Chain A
Amino acid sequence: MKSIRRIVALTHITFIEGIRDRALYGITIVALMMLATNILFTNLFGHELGKIMVDLNLSTISFAGLLLTFFVNINLMSKDIDRQTIYCVLSKPFSRGEYIVGKYLGLLSLMITAIFLLTVCSGGIAWFVKNSVADYFFRTFSWTCYAQAILYIMLMFTMLNAVVIFFSSISTSAFLTVLFSVATYIVGQSIEEVAFFFKGEAVTAGYSSKFNEFLIDSFQYVVPNFSAFDIKTMASHGKLMSMNHTIALIGYTVIYSLLLLFFASHIFKRREFN
């Protein structure tokens, strides 16, 4: 119970510290401006208006989430160590594991708040445009699909923030954490395509080997598969992912994130703050 109380207290101050950061305001304002200009862009696409609206809105929310993760959240972690504010946490009866969990939940609550705000705004914009044009243009639009896509985005950032926490626990500078996290994100987005290529065309063309296939298979398990969370195209066409797929993805997110936090806690226990 005391442990939970401490974790909640740290989550709370991490959230407050993040929400009052001006960088967050900047990112939110940019994202809102992009959402507003989406109204102008979608008018350029004629009868695909509904699909483009959904795609652009979801892309804007993802982009804002990435900016938040790589700039605000990583800064919140690295600032703690660089400016020695971590002393005021570790001087209290916090274990290193509690610190990791508390900071992670703080970053996550910040992310969820930002995405929720952007979802409300983007939903408002979509509703406004939908009611301004003929139903034909939004014939494939579905609020359920839209909500599911948002959920998948939140799951992706749940995992990405766990990646950030993991690299923050091992690297000694914010730049390295950004570098590793961005690299992991890029690899995670493309690993499925690379694996598909190696198992398909490369084998046919004769320049793949069993060892390469084994390497790619192992890599697929180690690197987070962020492309699995990208259902913008499906959502824009009004296609709902099955409940089994959603549950499996939630399970994958939870297990992978917990593993990363576990390793981060163990690595963080060994760190010294001089």
Chain B
Amino acid sequence: MFLLGYLTLPPSDPVSIYFSHISKTFTSGLFRRKHVNALDDVSLRIDEGDIFGIIGPNGAGKSTLIKLLMGFIRLDSGSITIHGKDANDPNARTQIGYLPESAYYYDHLTVLELMAFSAITSGISKNVISKRSSTLLNTMGLENAKNRKLRSYSKGMTQRAGFCFALIHAPNILILDEPMSGLDPLGRKMIVDIILDLKKQGKTILLCSHILNDVERLCDHIVIMHQGKLLETATRQDIHSKHGAHGLEEYFLQVIQGTQHEKY
């Protein structure tokens, strides 16, 4: 079940990720006088086994939310927990597989070395790494390129290498920021199939994407963000039944344009 707003969680609740009243402001300029409110009192709960989609215009705060979750930037206020652990605790990331929006990896490593790094640092033994690497590389179509340096990869190949990096340690939680970026239609279908397969395995997936068709097809719950705030939440069914929209794109435009009309 999906809820917005502040809650006291019962200890037995299967919550994967919980954002509680988080705010983040970025300052810039020589004397730090310019302030940008990236997130404003956002609360969000992602249950175990959910595929959760976050959509919004550019600058809505989606990537900021993810970077706070991953500990790349600090909260101004509020808290984030991952399976009950504070997100600032590095051990909370043991069960997370992360695919960044613009995936850059070490130029001179091979995808095998990258996966080995991901697996070893997540506590996976070398025997298991070897078997899983082989399976993942075959699935991602990178078997023939496994000994090539990552700098020689195309954008699509780098994205698929990123998936290998994120999945090698079989994490319970996947954070995918624009996972379809740079992929051709075949590659996108492959990723969609993988995500659906991961859902069957009970993985929790947090998906940020501008490709609304994919979000609508894959996600159980969808949140729309705009200018650092959560505007609306809905399930796939709600979009059609409650809001009368023919698809997520129509619903998204209704919500965003509705906000802009209120403003003016």
Residues of A within 8 A of B (CB): 2, 5-6, 9-10, 12-13, 16-17, 20-21, 83-85, 87-88, 90-95, 98, 270, 272-274
Q: State A254–B72 Cα separation when bound (angstroms).
A: 30
Residues of A within 8 A of B240 (CB): none
Extra contacts besides A83-B104, A88-B165 (16): CB < 8 Å: A6-B121, A9-B117, A10-B117, A16-B113, A20-B149, A84-B104, A85-B106, A87-B100, A88-B106, A88-B117, A93-B91, A93-B94, A94-B90, A272-B74, A273-B73, A274-B64
Residues of B within 8 A of A13 (CB): 106, 109, 113, 117
The total of Cβ contacts below 8 Å across the A-B interface reads 82
A220 CB, nearest partner CB in chain B, Å: 34
Can you give 27 A-B contacts (C-beta < 8 A)?
A5-B123, A6-B120, A6-B121, A9-B117, A10-B121, A12-B117, A13-B106, A13-B113, A17-B106, A17-B107, A17-B109, A84-B100, A87-B100, A87-B104, A91-B93, A91-B98, A91-B100, A92-B121, A92-B122, A93-B91, A93-B92, A93-B93, A93-B122, A95-B90, A98-B90, A272-B73, A274-B67
Tell yes or no: B118 within 8 A of A by CB.
yes
Q: Which residue of A lies closest to B119 (CB)?
A: A9
Residues of B within 8 A of A (CB): 26, 64, 67, 70-74, 90-94, 96, 98, 100, 102, 104-109, 113-114, 116-118, 120-123, 149, 165
Q: State A12–B71 Cα separation when bound (angstroms).
A: 24
Q: State A6–B120 Cα separation when bound (angstroms).
A: 7
Tell me whether A91 and B108 are in contact in the complex, defined as CB-CB below 8 angstroms, given that A5-B121, A84-B100 are known contacts: no
Q: Are B108 and A20 in contact (CB under 8 A)?
A: yes
Q: Are A93 and B108 in contact (CB under 8 A)?
A: no
User: Which of A5, A83, A274 makes the CB contact (< 8 A) with B120?
Assistant: A5
User: Which of A2, A16, A21, A90 makes the CB contact (< 8 A) with B71?
Assistant: A90
Q: Are B70 and A90 in contact (CB under 8 A)?
A: yes
Q: State A2–B165 Cα separation when bound (angstroms).
A: 19
Tell me whether A93 and B90 are in contact in the complex, defined as CB-CB below 8 angstroms, given that A83-B104, A88-B105, A88-B165 are known contacts: yes
Q: State A84–B158 Cα separation when bound (angstroms).
A: 14
- 6 tightest A-B CB contacts, nearest first: A20-B108, A91-B98, A92-B121, A272-B73, A93-B90, A273-B72
Q: Are B72 and A87 in contact (CB under 8 A)?
A: yes
Q: Which residue of A lies closest to B165 (CB)?
A: A88
A247 CB, nearest partner CB in chain B, Å: 36
B38 CB, nearest partner CB in chain A, Å: 9
Residues of A within 8 A of B118 (CB): 88, 92
Tell me whether A274 and B105 are in contact in the complex, defined as CB-CB below 8 angstroms, given that A13-B113, A87-B100 are known contacts: no
Q: State A93–B26 Cα separation when bound (angstroms).
A: 25
A99 CB, nearest partner CB in chain B, Å: 10
Q: Which residue of A lies closest to B107 (CB)?
A: A17
Residues of B within 8 A of A16 (CB): 108-109, 113
A139 CB, nearest partner CB in chain B, Å: 47
Q: Which residue of A lies closest to B26 (CB)?
A: A274
Q: Which residue of A lies closest to B175 (CB)?
A: A91
Q: Which residue of A lies closest to B70 (CB)?
A: A91
B37 CB, nearest partner CB in chain A, Å: 14
B61 CB, nearest partner CB in chain A, Å: 12
Q: State A254–B116 Cα separation when bound (angstroms).
A: 31
Q: Which residue of B lies closest to A20 (CB)?
A: B108
Q: State A254–B71 Cα separation when bound (angstroms).
A: 31
B109 CB, nearest partner CB in chain A, Å: 6
A4 CB, nearest partner CB in chain B, Å: 11
Q: State A6–B64 Cα separation when bound (angstroms).
A: 26
Q: Are B109 and A272 in contact (CB under 8 A)?
A: no
Tell me whether A91 and B109 are in contact in the complex, defined as CB-CB below 8 angstroms, given that A272-B73, A274-B72 are known contacts: no
Q: Which residue of A lies closest to B121 (CB)?
A: A92
Q: Which residue of B lies closest to A7 (CB)?
A: B121
Residues of A within 8 A of B113 (CB): 13, 16
User: Which of A88, A94, A273 makes the CB contact (< 8 A) with B67?
Assistant: A273
Q: State A17–B105 Cα separation when bound (angstroms).
A: 11
A67 CB, nearest partner CB in chain B, Å: 19
Q: State A91–B169 Cα separation when bound (angstroms).
A: 13
Most chain A beta-carbon neighbours within 10 Å: one of B72, B106, B149: B106
Q: State A91–B97 Cα separation when bound (angstroms).
A: 8
Residues of A within 8 A of B123 (CB): 2, 5
Q: State A270–B99 Cα separation when bound (angstroms).
A: 23
Most chain B beta-carbon neighbours within 10 Å: one of A85, A93, A270: A93
Q: Are B105 and A85 in contact (CB under 8 A)?
A: yes
Residues of B within 8 A of A87 (CB): 70, 72, 98, 100, 104
B198 CB, nearest partner CB in chain A, Å: 17
Q: State A88–B165 Cα separation when bound (angstroms).
A: 8
Tell me whether A274 and B73 are in contact in the complex, defined as CB-CB below 8 angstroms, given that A17-B107, A91-B98 are known contacts: yes
User: Which of B102, B106, B107, B121 makes the CB contact (< 8 A) with A93?
Assistant: B121
Q: Which residue of A lies closest to B64 (CB)?
A: A274
Tell me whether A94 and B121 are in contact in the complex, defined as CB-CB below 8 angstroms, given that A13-B109, A20-B149, A85-B105 are known contacts: yes
